[in-house]
Amino acid sequence: MSTASTSAVDSRFEVLLGFDMETDVGSWTPFHEGLRHGTPAVLEVFRTHGVTGTFYFVGHSAREVPESVLQVKEAGHEIGAHSLYHETVGDALFPIPGIYPLLSHEVKPRLEKNTQWVEEVAGVRPVSFRCPRLFGSTTVCNALEDLGYVSDATYPMYFYKEQLAPYHPDQNDWTKKGDLRLVQIPNFADLSLESTDAYGRDCDQWPKFRTESASALLEHVDHFLDYLESQKVDRKVLAFYFHPWEFHPMPQGMIHFGEGGVLPDPFIVKGCGDYALEQFDILIAELKNRGAAFHTAEEIALATL
């Protein structure tokens, strides 16, 4: 452990462990092997540590694997929503072939349908949301506000770099502070690093825990906590994002279906399965050692003034 990291050891901070419950490897496959088999394994790690998190379900995935929704609910975690079909609901930060951003008038009805599909399976109405790929927008925030959501854990700190703690977004610019009742929960990134990537993705947290290790990610955690201290941010919240398919072995190489296939970049599928589970377990234990208090997104939102 570096000297820079020791100052964070005694400080209390809040942790949101958020899981985006979707098809394997995001939008790239039609399969739900991770949701089926990764979810119970992840829930077991949560159980052994006695912590809770928020699980954001794609509407389509909730319908396809309803038992996964019920497992999560029965284990006492928050059920959130993650779009209808893992489409681009907000402003695309980079292009995805075949997946074009929703037109602005489509956003609210589709989020409403997403809410309804998840509620039908879960028996509870989701009040927490996360946009696929952290592609958020002002339109999304306003729609979530109208639909009664209390939180959106989308803001990618690695990209916008401005908001360092949960905030109420502006109705005309979701990346600024304003008067919406909704709380935007930024996903932390190591802003102490000099980025060499056009999008700043090398400062991001994901998916270091499995492509490298829990301790590599914890180094970023410690840097981030120190950075918040240097910026005089009193409320320290670390929002993490994971996916159930990271906790089940993903095919290495070409994944074939329908009339073709996809070849995910190596980092997308690296370390998925047992290694990810082992590192996730270490990560939670180490966050606890550092004094973390684990909360759901709803709890973090309701505690935001």
Residues that bind Zn ion (CB under 5 A): 20, 22, 132
Query: CA 44 to CA 263: how far, in whole Å?
Result: 31
Largest CA distance in the chain: 55
* Shortest reach from residue 83's CB to Zn ion, in Å: 8
Beta bridge pairs of residue 28: none
Query: CA 182 to CA 302: how far, in whole Å?
Result: 10
The residue nearest Zn ion at its CB is 20
Residue (153 or 292) nearer to Zn ion, CB? 153
* Shortest reach from residue 5's CB to Zn ion, in Å: 30
Residue (135 or 188) nearer to Zn ion, CB? 135
* Shortest reach from residue 131's CB to Zn ion, in Å: 8
* Shortest reach from residue 10's CB to Zn ion, in Å: 35
Residue (62 or 225) nearer to Zn ion, CB? 62
Residue (82 or 295) nearer to Zn ion, CB? 82
* Shortest reach from residue 22's CB to Zn ion, in Å: 5
* Shortest reach from residue 267's CB to Zn ion, in Å: 16
DSSP characters over the chain: --HHHHTTTT--EEEEEEEEE-STTGGG-S--HIIIIIHHHHHHHHHHHT---EEEE-HHHHHH-HHHHHHHHHTTPEEEE--SSS---S--SS-BTTBPPPPHHHHHHHHHHHHHHHHHHHSS---EE--GGG---HHHHHHHHHTT--EE---BHHHH----S-BPBPSS-TTSB-S-SSEE-PBPB-TTSPP-STT-GGGB-TTHHHHT-HHHHHHHHHHHHHHHHHTT--S-EEEEEE-GGGGSPPPSS-EEETTEEE---HHHHTTTTHHHHHHHHHHHHHHHHTTEEE--HHHHHHT--
Residue (83 or 304) nearer to Zn ion, CB? 83
* Shortest reach from residue 85's CB to Zn ion, in Å: 11
